[in-house]
Amino acid sequence: MAKFADLQLDSGVARGLQRGDRRAQATAYRTLAPMVMGMAMRILQDEGIAQEVVQDTFVELIEKAHTLKDPHAVLGWVRKVAVNHCLMRLRSPWHKRRVTLELVDDADVTNDSTRLEDRQDIERALGTLPAETRMVIWLHDVEGYTHKEIGTLLGRTASYSKSQLARGYQTLTLLYGGSRDDIEDSGIRSARTS
């Protein structure tokens, strides 16, 4: 799965964002929007809400890019803003009232699309987890956040992040028919990571 660390934004584009240049804004959107959308989809499990996160993230980027002191900080800033917008949606009373629908199984796929099937399996499995647990797993395992950073984002402790990660691993291990030893190993692994 791709992550923000895999992206690069030309420093000229970043400086253009700071000046309010429309071309730089368009380039930043084309470069970063797919990554923001992917992260939001995996965290929120809802395409419409993920699209709102993308829109709100880029509106905020356009409005506040002039305040960035370091043009190299744009990627980290966009990632943080997108994560915060995801958190706001997860904490929303409307989100809590939503009815979670089962993902519809796709039609049979050809043999050369094994990667697509694996990705759909992973997304389906992550979709079974509570939203906050799913977010912790995504931020830690894909985006590379530390437990301390995740705890701060969620208004909790690093220990809370570690326990959510361990519970998520436990649930996913059981979902895929893992043994008790597998569950204990996943708990040890998540407790040792920072």
What does pTM read for this prediction? 0.59
For 80-121, how does the pLDDT look when each residue is reduced to its tens digit (9 = 90+)? 999 999 988 887 766 555 544 333 344 444 444 555 566 667
Residues 6+ apart with CB under 8 A from 150: 136, 139, 140, 158, 161
CA distance linking residue 30 with residue 38, whole number of Å: 13
Residue 57 pLDDT more than 70?
yes
Quote the tokens at residue 144.
């590379």
CB 24 within 8 A of CB 16: yes
Quote the tokens at residue 187.
């708990």
Quote the tokens at residue 75.
């990627």
For 114-128, how does the pLDDT look when each residue is reduced to its tens digit (9 = 90+)? 555 666 677 777 888
Residues 6+ apart with CB under 8 A from 108: none
Q: What are phi and psi of 106, to 5 degrees?
A: -75, 160
> Which residue ranges form the domains of the chain, and what is each CATH number?
1-100 (1.10.1740.10), 113-194 (1.10.10.10)
